[in-house]
Amino acid sequence: MGAAVYRLPVKITLVALAFLLWHVSPASAIPSVENRPGHVRTIRVAGDLYFPPYEYVDENGVYKGFNVDIMRAIAIEKGLDLELVPMPWSEAVEALKRGEVDAIQGMKYSPARDQVFDFSDQYLESAQAIFVDRANRYIINLEDLKDTTVAVQSGDISFDLVAKIDGAKIIFTKTQEEGLEKVLDGEADAFVGNRLTGLYILQRKGQTDRLKIIGGPINPTRYGLAVLEGNQQLLALFNEGIKAIKAHRTYEKIYGKWFGELIEPGSRKLKRVTYGVTVALALAAAVALLTIRWNRLLHQEVRRRTEELDLANMRLLASDRLKEQILDNIQSGIITLNPEGKILSVSAPATALTGLGKQDVGKHYRDTTLRDLIDEERLDSMMLEQGQFPDRELSLPGGVILHSGLYPLKGARDNPEGAIISFRDITREKKLQEALHRQDKLHSLGQLVAGIAHEIRNPLTSIKTFVELIPQKFENPRFRDEVARFVPAEIERLNTLIHDLLEYSRPRSPVTESCLVHEYVEKVLLLFAPEIKKKRVAARQEVLQELRVMVDKHHFQQVLINLILNSMEAVEEGGRITITAGRDGPWGWVRVADDGSGINPEDLARVFEPFFSRKPNGTGLGLFVCYQFIKENGGDINITSYPGSGTTVELRLPIASPGGEAVG
């Protein structure tokens, strides 16, 4: 910031105050924004996300600092409707250039910046400094940074100083704190940045014994608000506000809060005292009445504005408490990370599920047990592309199963600010799903057995016929050849059916393989052939013969059985069932359509729920199990239906090559 400005405290006499009040009425001292023509919107003012003590977001998410208090005081004085928008410094500068914000609440003046921005009256003097390791002995001034590695905050005016040094390797950081950490970690030889901010950060982190400032203040420069070139109307409002808070000594209180007492030089004190005494002697008679009037109005205005600020703070705190209570009382555990991977918050359910707690806030997730619960590649991808990864299951010791999701954490104007990680205990759900799968498989098994029974009768009839004819035709060579050829084939056919039935009834995890869709469609239609014939249903198939999908063959067969069974129950005698299949890019699709009674719109959204059924004797498990099986095999299932017009169920599964590999 440069050398501080000093002065001795001065008491303004009542006569001097009367003179000032005579020329400045209360109505003009605190103008209302409604009385200024052209005010139609909130003024958006950007500031650095982390530039203490000027401006920063603390660990509770509160935006505070010297600049923040200055802006709030100006807003009160001028009756402005301001929105303070914290963001990384480089983004704040670009946002002002693009017109996304109206001003930046604190910027150091430079001739280059003056080509793009207009600056308010100075309300502070800012200076830079060189921070190096305390053991460093070879860096004395800026010239000594030649052939060294120097950390500089991105977009900071310090870059103009370092860029002129030959051979200096510059490392850009998002914040000044990150730049100081580069020196502490040995990644940089020096950090060039704001003197006051650097001292503040080192004192707060307790690192003043590790780093030191080399030389005196560098490039002391005026510091004030910045607007786009030509925005004189807004600049005039800010200058009026700065003048007003200095006149009312609000500025001195804010300065003292963040930097210590503001003391002016003795000559300035003498000048102010002389002027005050002169004015006081001239206007002593008028001051008493005007002072009483002014104080009464001023107290009323200050009290009103203070109540407004207190109410706003109470609402903010109540909002934060409400959010924390909501997060602590939902079943899902929530953990948030900043863009650098450090933990910002841990909800109570997350503590119960993961073992992490408040003591882990501020740590990098790799330094905690969270590193074993998230996929770093998914996290990095989400941070870069701002995508979502809502589905992931984790198996923990003791048989606990967690459902995990990754979502972007966004701030104002959807700017990325980190990641949200959710955890939910689904152990009971998984066990219930497994039980439902077994129950539905038994239900479907009954339907399968009914179809297989018909297939078994055919070979048994052939065998029985041959056995009954053996006593009569055993001497016939041709008969013996027929027995030797047909009976073993029919027995093998029976064996295959029994083997498939046993395989189908065993519960297991899906084993995906390349399956020809038309083979399974024909196999299932063959099982339903007696029922189709009995009900005189027109069953038609249009399946791409070479279509292969990656799927567990038993799961695929059971899904087809359930869908065709539903269609058989929905159609009237003489109805139609159509099975079609084709390819759409890397996906294969299979559609089972019927012209049955259809599904009511209010029921369509619930058909995949377990135990939901409108059938008198239905269990409500068929479509639920279909949904689970298709999802487990990496596919999707959708239903379209209209009452009285029939139903179409579409399955989508990954395409497979003839060699058995997934395509795409």
> CA 258 to CA 86: how far, in whole Å?
19
Amino acid at 602: E
Domain covering 428-507 assigned CATH 1.10.405 in the classification: no
Asked if 557 and 510 count as a contact pair (C-beta separation under 8 A), the reply is: no
- Which letter does DSSP use for residue 187 in this model? S
> CA 586 to CA 332: how far, in whole Å?
35
Instruction: Report CA 177 to chain centroid distance, whole Å.
Output: 24
* The pair of three-digit structure tokens given for residue 107, joined into one six-digit string: 């910027």
- pLDDT at site 455: 62
Instruction: Report CA 186 to chain centroid distance, whole Å.
Output: 33
- pLDDT at site 1: 36
Chain region(s) in the chain for CATH 3.40.190.10: 31-248
Asked if 351 and 425 count as a contact pair (C-beta separation under 8 A), the reply is: no
- pLDDT at site 444: 54
Q: Quick one: angle between helices 517-527 and 553-570, nearest 10?
A: 50
Neighbours of 192 (CB within 10 A): 27
- pLDDT at site 22: 32
Tell me which CATH homologous superfamily contains domain 511-664.
Histidine kinase-like ATPase, C-terminal domain (3.30.565.10)
Asked if 649 and 592 count as a contact pair (C-beta separation under 8 A), the reply is: yes
3-state secondary structure 213-276: EEEEEEEEEEEEEEEECCCHHHHHHHHHHHHHHHHCCHHHHHHHHHHCCCCCCHHHHHHHHHHH
Asked if 122 and 224 count as a contact pair (C-beta separation under 8 A), the reply is: yes
- The string of DSSP letters for 36-104 reads STT--SPEEEEEESEETTTEEE-TTS-EESHHHHHHHHHHHHHT--EEEEEE-HHHHHHHHHTTSSSEE
- pLDDT at site 655: 92
- pLDDT at site 466: 77
Spans of the chain below 50 pLDDT = 1-40, 261-271, 503-504
* The pair of three-digit structure tokens given for residue 341, joined into one six-digit string: 């991977």
> CA 8 to CA 283: how far, in whole Å?
24
- pLDDT at site 262: 41
Tell the CATH topology of 31-248: D-Maltodextrin-Binding Protein; domain 2 (3.40.190)
- pLDDT at site 218: 87
> CA 370 to CA 357: how far, in whole Å?
11
Asked if 47 and 84 count as a contact pair (C-beta separation under 8 A), the reply is: yes
> CA 379 to CA 102: how far, in whole Å?
35
* The pair of three-digit structure tokens given for residue 584, joined into one six-digit string: 């759409």
Tell me which CATH homologous superfamily contains domain 332-425.
PAS domain (3.30.450.20)
Q: Which residue has the tokens 């300035």?
A: 268
Chain region(s) in the chain for CATH 3.30.450.20: 332-425
Neighbours of 99 (CB within 10 A): 10
- pLDDT at site 352: 81
* Beta pairing, strands 211-228 & 124-133: antiparallel
